[in-house]
Structure 1
Amino acid sequence: MVSMKEIAKKCNVSVASVSKALNGYSDISEETRKLILKTASEMGYLPNSSARTLKTKRSYNIGVMFVDEARSGLTHNYFNHVLESFKRTAEERGYDITFTSGKISGQKLSYYEHCRYRGVDGVVIACVDFYTDEVQELIRSEIPVVTIDHVFDGNIAVVSNNSQGMEELVSYIYEQGHRKIAYIHGDNTSVTRMRLTSFYRTVQRLGVQIPDEYVKESPYRDADSAARTTSELLELSDPPTCIIYPDDYAAIGGINEIRERGLRIPDDISIAGYDGIDIAKILEPKLTTLCQDTAAIGRMAAEKLIDLIENPKTTLIDRFSVDGTLFKGASVKKIRGLKKQDPASHKL
């Protein structure tokens, strides 16, 4: 195993300088630091994790709490990309990742107990029931926490800008000439509430009235439920011309129901998704959707959590929002021949 003494000899510097470079101290020149790090990498130097833990009082291990209702784990189309970006960024900063399940060798532990057992320096929380006692216990503990897509007072949160995303999506559908716009939203979460509020605000601003029967609930990532809800909308006496789904995966259920009825997308009915998963861009026709910036969300969550771990007194505790981008696709039809009216006069 390569030692710091060997690196020092190779670089013609002191062992103390090598130690400072490898441990991130700033009282050596940038040129010397880069030389030492480059040489250490070329020589295959690996730090002793136990020694580093004793010296820094940190484990360089971050806990990841991720449990969605469907128990889809890392097959979750949205969060797997977020967490991959989180993992990549954390590893670049010298941290390892541990998933916290609340179980050790079959023994049930609370999330907080599991984090203490693993000795994590901090935890990122994504896609869980944030209001359970176990999550609340962890949030209130001394362990640094960053949440994704949920905001707690007094904690750092990194969220996708769902208000901006929904406004941009609805505005585009409106610009395509649609006034009969249905929205199948997800179950009752802070993300859903944000999107639903933005949906109603946007159609109000555009002067479009939405009947109550056009707005329905269906769980996220549930294609079967989305198909049933699509059927209910299509059987209305005055059906919508465009349906927005809670996510792209659910939209596939809607697509199946529409095609089983012999209808064509977008000629007979237009649809739009949300998330921007890879499959949305290879469907035929390509799905109109709001692409969330999963790479930026994961990277920012890792950076903010590590800043909180390493600089707890100076890290800003705030909510950080990441904008998405509209992928227009080809699943929303342009309705031609719509008479120009004052926005306040657009009624269904």
Structure 2
Amino acid sequence: MITIQELSKQCGVSVSTVSKALNGYSDISDKTRELVIKTANEMGYFPNANARALKLKKTFNIGVLFTTHTTMGLRNDYFAHVLSAFKEESAKKGYDITFIENYIGRRKMTYLEHCQFRHFDGVCIVCADYEDQEVVSLASSDFPVVTIDYAFNKTNSIISDNYGGMKQLTNYIIQQGHTKIAYIHGVKTLVTKNRIEGYLSAMADNKVKVPKEYVIEGLYRNPVLTEELAAQLLAMPNRPTCIIAPDDQSAVGVINAIRKQGLQVVKDVSVAGYDGLESQQMIGVRLTTVKQERDNIGKEASRRLVEMIENPQETSPEKIFMKQTLLIGNSVKKLHHI
């Protein structure tokens, strides 16, 4: 293993100069810094993580809390993008990430105890039951914490504007002449609550009444259940002219239900999704949906958390809202009369 002393000798500069170059100090020349970094890469030098942690009083490790209501876990496309971007952005600053669990080996512990055991520099709560006392305790602890899609008083919060995104989508459908718009939403979470409120707000603003049976709880990323629920909507005497699915993946279920009823997608019943997945192009249908800035959410969460870790006196809790973008496809028909 190459030592900092060997690197110093190879570069012809002092050990302190090498240390400054590797740690980003500004009181050395760019030429010297480039020489040290180039030589370190060529020699395969890596700093001693334990010594670095002791000197800087940091472990350069961030805890990530990620628990979901479903078994999809990291296969969930939205969270996979968010976490990947968070990890990549954190790595650029020299931080590793470790998932927070309730066990170390066979020893059970709270989320906060796990973070204390691992000596994390900070914590990102990506997805969790935010009313769980363990989560509340972690968010209100002395650790720098950033949360995604939920706000605590002491944390920086990166919030995807689900209310605004759904309102924008619903307004567009109404502008196309639809008044019979049903919404199959996901399980009751804060994200779902905000989307339902955005949908209802757009309908109220346009003085469109919403029959109670038009709003149905389903599951995210479950085309099979969504197909069953869409079939129920299509069997109503006053069937909707447009159905909004919980997400783009579930929109496939709505399309299947329409076709199995002997109806034509778009011509007879329109459909919309949510999330803006790359796979939104379906057979004969380009889905109208809302794109969430998944990668930007992860990157911003990392930037804010690292800033809290490295400049604790200069940062204060803040809510950062990430706008969503309406993507117009051909799946919502323009009605010439209501």
Q: Same fold (TM over 0.5)?
A: yes
2:277 aligns with: 277
Deviates more, 1:4-13 or 1:71-80: 4-13
Please give the alpha-carbon distance, in whole angstroms, between the structure 1 residues aligned to 2:55 and 2:290: 46
Please give the alpha-carbon distance, in whole angstroms, between the structure 1 residues aligned to 2:314 and 2:270: 49
2:174 aligns with: 174
Structure-to-structure mapping, 1:279-318, within 5 angstroms: 279-282=279-282, 284-318=284-318
1:43 aligns with: 43
Task: Determine if the alignment matches structure 1 residue 118 to structure 2 residue 118.
Answer: yes
Are 2:308 and 2:315, in contact at CA under 8 Å, matched by a contact in 1?
A: yes
Structure 2: runs of 5 or more not aligned: none
Q: How many residues align?
A: 338
1:338 aligns with: 337
Look up the SS of the partner of 2:71 in the other structure.
coil
Are 2:102 and 2:109, in contact at CA under 8 Å, matched by a contact in 1?
A: yes
Are 2:149 and 2:191, in contact at CA under 8 Å, matched by a contact in 1?
A: yes
Look up the SS of the partner of 1:278 in the other structure.
coil
2:327 aligns with: 327
Q: Which amino acid aligns with 1:124?
A: C
Please give the alpha-carbon distance, in whole angstroms, between the structure 1 residues aligned to 2:101 and 2:258: 39
Shift of 1:80: 0.5
1:106 aligns with: 106
Are 2:288 and 2:328, in contact at CA under 8 Å, matched by a contact in 1?
A: yes
Please give the alpha-carbon distance, in whole angstroms, between the structure 1 residues aligned to 2:143 and 2:67: 19
1:74 aligns with: 74
Task: Determine if the alignment matches structure 1 residue 195 to structure 2 residue 195.
Answer: yes
Task: Determine if the alignment matches structure 1 residue 236 to structure 2 residue 236.
Answer: yes
Look up the SS of the partner of 1:251 in the other structure.
helix
Please give the alpha-carbon distance, in whole angstroms, between the structure 2 residues aligned to 1:193 and 1:73: 21
What is the alpha-carbon root mean square deviation over aligned residues? 1.9
Task: Determine if the alignment matches structure 1 residue 154 to structure 2 residue 154.
Answer: yes
Shift of 1:94: 0.6
Deviations 1:294-327 (A, max 9, x none): 1100000111111111111112311111112222
Please give the alpha-carbon distance, in whole angstroms, between the structure 2 residues aligned to 1:179 and 1:234: 15
Deviations 1:280-299 (A, max 9, x none): 23554122110101110000
Task: Determine if the alignment matches structure 1 residue 129 to structure 2 residue 129.
Answer: yes
Q: Which amino acid aligns with 1:71?
A: T
Q: Residues 147 and 334 (structure 1 numbering): CA distance in 2 closer, same or farther, change over 3 Å? A: same
Please give the alpha-carbon distance, in whole angstroms, between the structure 2 residues aligned to 1:111 and 1:288: 40
Shift of 1:37: 2.5
Shift of 1:233: 1.3
Shift of 1:30: 4.1
Shift of 1:180: 1.3
Deviations 1:89-124 (A, max 9, x none): 111111111111212223322111122222221111
1:343 aligns with: none
Are 2:4 and 2:47, in contact at CA under 8 Å, matched by a contact in 1?
A: no
1:345 aligns with: none
Please give the alpha-carbon distance, in whole angstroms, between the structure 1 residues aligned to 2:263 and 2:127: 35
Q: Which amino acid aligns with 2:77?
A: N
Q: Which amino acid aligns with 1:221?
A: R
Shift of 1:21: 1.8
Please give the alpha-carbon distance, in whole angstroms, between the structure 2 residues aligned to 1:158 and 1:34: 35
1:63 aligns with: 63
Deviates more, 1:253-262 or 1:16-25: 253-262
Deviates more, 1:192-201 or 1:23-32: 23-32
Please give the alpha-carbon distance, in whole angstroms, between the structure 2 residues aligned to 1:48 and 1:38: 18
Shift of 1:268: 1.6
Look up the SS of the partner of 2:124 in the other structure.
strand
TM-score (ref. length: structure 1): 0.91
Structure 1: runs of 5 or more not aligned: 340-348
Deviates more, 1:242-251 or 1:253-262: 253-262
Deviates more, 1:92-101 or 1:258-267: 258-267
Shift of 1:5: 3.2
Look up the SS of the partner of 1:135 in the other structure.
helix
Q: Which amino acid aligns with 1:328?
A: I
Q: Residues 138 and 268 (structure 1 numbering): CA distance in 2 closer, same or farther, change over 3 Å? A: same
Please give the alpha-carbon distance, in whole angstroms, between the structure 2 residues aligned to 1:255 and 1:127: 29
Look up the SS of the partner of 2:321 in the other structure.
strand
Shift of 1:61: 0.8
Q: Which amino acid aligns with 1:248?
A: D
Please give the alpha-carbon distance, in whole angstroms, between the structure 2 residues aligned to 1:46 and 1:70: 40
Structure-to-structure mapping, 1:261-276, within 5 angstroms: 261-276=261-276
Shift of 1:31: 4.4
Are 2:182 and 2:244, in contact at CA under 8 Å, matched by a contact in 1?
A: yes
1:342 aligns with: none
TM-score (ref. length: structure 2): 0.93
Please give the alpha-carbon distance, in whole angstroms, between the structure 2 residues aligned to 1:35 and 1:193: 54
Please give the alpha-carbon distance, in whole angstroms, between the structure 2 residues aligned to 1:319 and 1:222: 31
